[in-house]
Amino acid sequence: MEERLTLARERLLELAEECKQTLPGDWQDFFQKGIDFANLLIKVYDNDDTAFYKEVNKELYADILPGNYDNSWCDPAYAVSKMGEDYGRLLCFTAAELRGGISAAFEKDTQALLIRLELLLQLYHMTERGFSEDNAAPEYALYKDVLYSFVSDYFETECERRIRHMVDPSYRFALDIIDEADIKDCSYLYRYGEYITDNELELAQYINSLGEDKIELMADTWTEGYRKGFISTGKDLSIKRSVNVRYPIGFERVMKRAVENFAKMGLKPTIYRASDTVFTGRSVYKNGFFGANPNPQFDYDHREDLALILDGQLITRRLECLEQAFIAYKQQAKEHAGPAVMEVFGKKPFVPVDKNEVLKFSEEQRALDVRFRTENIRITNEYIPGEERSFTIISFPVPAIGPRFKEIFDAVVRINTLDYEKYQKIQSCIIDALNEAKYVHIKGMGVNRTELRVKLKELDDPKKQAIYENCVADVNIPVGEVFTTPVLKGTDGVLHVSRVFLNELEYKDFSLTFKDGFVTDYSCGNFEDEAANRRYIEDNVLFHHKSLPMGEAAIGTNTTAYVMGRRYGIEGMLPILIAEKTGPHFAVGDTCYSHAEDIRVFNPDGKEIVAKDNEVSALRNTQPDKAYYGCHTDVTIPYDELGLLEGVRADGSSIEIIVNGRFVLPGTEELNKAFTEG
């Protein structure tokens, strides 16, 4: 690898000047910029100086920053305008994938960097030869074959890299940064290779200024929630050896305390970077460790880049490589306990531009993508058994939220540490009431058009069983919801919200129509073109499935979080994690008990939760390929859009829970205090 890298670096240095003489017009511009960027990556790879990393940080991301993106080869609209649809999309694909070399250069991953440099060189030499021999670029099909071979050939090493980073604690890139972070000098942030803005620097400075007691409170709440998750589900944490820690950079001091806490549980951290290549996929929503997103539109434009080459053979190859990677790390995977996730919120909401030039899956490719997602879940669950793993997730604001950041941060810390015993008792009242119901009726008010009937599971023994789970602050922080798995047949109607943010994307006038628990129609008002609106939902909510079932029906009870959001005018910025606690919410996709349906779960009052399956997940033992969808997206109706939520008994009598946005069930009145005290 080092020998090949030496050859590549020598050739790239030569091409910095040669390219100007060998290629015409836009071809020259594309390769000149690509070669210059590749040479910059080599300089990063050769360097280990924080001051240098700081110096080149903006240069590494300048090409895709909003002010430059519309003149970048990474922008599909620009690339197509210069080279036409075929060559433009191909070169755009290549430019985006070359950016995956940034992480490789910082992590000193020779192979991951080398394969991208060699791809650029191979395409250059093809092009140069074409113009020197025939005065024209080689046929489009030849370029496409090169990209197909690139992806197919390197799925094996890239899958191995990703799985190793997920389950093998010996990979310490981010952990070393955490251990060595100097709280007096935030320059260590540049060592990640992520894009750094004032937001990340101010966040780190603020976190580093906090008293040790607050750092402990934040970290302990998070890690203790993780531990409680194993206890509440009866899973044995003692057989596990690693935990996947995911976080936004700037929280290193909290991470250091969390790592110490996990060590006391016998767990070592595994920490990987948020996806940044065609091999792992790109998304506006970041999952791993991450810095600032230089341009969410770039991620959105390239989320389906595989459409350029995707076919059945490539999917088969990808799945084979994934399984081989898990086999290589079989023991580490078996000992992996699951993710501990820290999210942030407060950045400017992102509303994507829908571009015709973007690569998009065909109907056939959508089906292939669904096949991959389904098999990916099955393989992952085989090697990291769902019935043996857990998770936890917590969220905090960032300085970009505005001048009241510190005030909001303190308010969120308070929300994350609310008295769970108080909520536990109140939520028990709701659960006891709904145990009598045959279905739940939900009706919107004002602009909200929701009219929904959710069928509930019937209890065999109401004295010992419950339909809803009493969710307090363990895996899902903050406290504040009761949830169940609906019966699909008999779950009908329209779910509507005037505005909602799902996985970093905004939806306006969003609605889903259900028949027997499945989505039958959907719409939103983001774009003037109705077809674009439907595709937006198909891509980012349905995830290419023809339909999805309602996997969860829940009632959020955290009125304190709701009032906090309204007080500071940040309700549109709240992540799903908090937003779902601020009203009733309904998830499409898998149930909350996905791959763990057979584990017995009990509420604090000792009653067993029996509504864990629906008609789809019940297929797991007979038709496992049809039992799971690999997605779960919550849609929340805020209290001020909720006219009625009631349980309806078999005799038709009503059990009112919420009326005109206020809790009316006896025993829940305490929840309304936040509306007046806030």
Which pLDDT tens digit goes with each residue over 399-450? 999 999 999 999 999 999 988 889 999 999 999 999 999 999 999 999 999 9
Q: What span, in angstroms and rounded, lies between the C-alpha atoms of 589 and 3?
A: 48
Q: Which of the four pLDDT bands, split at 50, 70 and 90, describes residue 267?
A: very high
Q: Of 423, 443, 459, 425, which Cα lies nearest the Cα of 654? A: 443
Flag the least confident range among 121-125, 452-456, 470-474, 631-635: 470-474
- Please give the DSSP secondary-structure letter assigned to residue 273: B
Question: For 658-676, what is each residue's pLDDT tens digit?
Answer: 999 999 999 999 999 999 8
The answer to whether 270 and 245 are in contact (CB under 8 A) is yes
Q: Of 182, 183, 165, which Cα lies nearest the Cα of 174? A: 165
Place of tokens 């209890």: 459
Mean pLDDT of 623-632: 90
Do the strands 336-345 and 392-397 form a parallel or antiparallel pair, or are they unpaired?
Answer: parallel
Mean pLDDT of 165-177: 97
Q: What span, in angstroms and rounded, lies between the C-alpha atoms of 435 and 458?
A: 8
3-state percent helix, strand, coil for the chain, nearest multiple of 5: 50, 20, 30
Both tokens assigned to 339: 């993710």
Q: Of 154, 153, 49, 142, which Cα lies nearest the Cα of 101? A: 154
Question: For 3-62, what is each residue's pLDDT tens digit?
Answer: 999 999 999 999 988 888 889 999 999 999 999 999 999 999 999 999 999 999 999 999
End-to-end CA distance of the chain: 61
Question: For 522-548, what is each residue's pLDDT tens digit?
Answer: 999 999 999 999 999 999 999 999 999
The answer to whether 234 and 599 are in contact (CB under 8 A) is yes
Mean pLDDT of 594-610: 90
Per-residue model confidence (pLDDT) at position 503: 82
Per-residue model confidence (pLDDT) at position 341: 96
Mean pLDDT of 369-387: 93
Q: Is the pLDDT of residue 678 over 60?
A: no
Both tokens assigned to 163: 């799985």
Question: For 273-310, what is each residue's pLDDT tens digit?
Answer: 999 999 999 999 899 999 999 999 999 999 999 999 99
- Please give the DSSP secondary-structure letter assigned to residue 616: T
% of the chain surpassing 90 pLDDT = 89
Which ranges of 47-172 does DSSP label H, i.e. alpha helix?
50-61, 66-69, 76-98, 101-107, 110-134, 140-167
Per-residue model confidence (pLDDT) at position 473: 61
Do the strands 518-523 and 469-471 form a parallel or antiparallel pair, or are they unpaired?
Answer: unpaired
3-state secondary structure of 337: strand
H or E segment to which residue 6 belongs: helix 2-22
Q: Is the pLDDT of residue 623 over 60?
A: yes
The answer to whether 342 and 395 are in contact (CB under 8 A) is yes
Place of tokens 């910025």: 573
Q: Which of the four pLDDT bands, split at 50, 70 and 90, describes residue 331?
A: very high
Place of tokens 């709440």: 221
List Cα–Cα distances, 227 to 9, 96, 232, 473, 551, in angstroms: 48, 40, 9, 11, 25
Q: Which of the four pLDDT bands, split at 50, 70 and 90, describes residue 621?
A: confident
% of the chain surpassing 70 pLDDT = 100
Per-residue model confidence (pLDDT) at position 433: 97
Q: Which of the four pLDDT bands, split at 50, 70 and 90, describes residue 575?
A: confident
Q: What span, in angstroms and rounded, lies between the C-alpha atoms of 548 and 590?
A: 8
Both tokens assigned to 677: 């005290």
List Cα–Cα distances, 328 to 16, 34, 169, 219, in angstroms: 40, 35, 15, 33
Q: Is the peptide bond before 385 cis (omega within 30 degrees of 0)?
A: no
User: For the chain, what is the mean pLDDT?
Assistant: 95
Q: Which of the four pLDDT bands, split at 50, 70 and 90, describes residue 86?
A: very high
267 — alpha (psi -120 to 50), left (phi > 0) or beta? beta
Phi, psi of 310, rounded to the nearest 5 degrees: -65, 130
Burial of 185 (0-12, 13-18, 19+ CB in 10 A): exposed
The answer to whether 322 and 373 are in contact (CB under 8 A) is no
Both tokens assigned to 353: 């531009």
Per-residue model confidence (pLDDT) at position 495: 98
Q: Which of the four pLDDT bands, split at 50, 70 and 90, describes residue 585?
A: very high
Q: Of 214, 377, 355, 253, which Cα lies nearest the Cα of 297? A: 355
Q: What span, in angstroms and rounded, lies between the C-alpha atoms of 490 and 514?
A: 10
Q: How many C-beta neighbours within 10 Å does residue 133 have?
A: 9
Q: Is the pLDDT of residue 145 over 80?
A: yes
Q: Is the pLDDT of residue 162 over 70?
A: yes
Q: What span, in angstroms and rounded, lies between the C-alpha atoms of 522 and 491?
A: 16
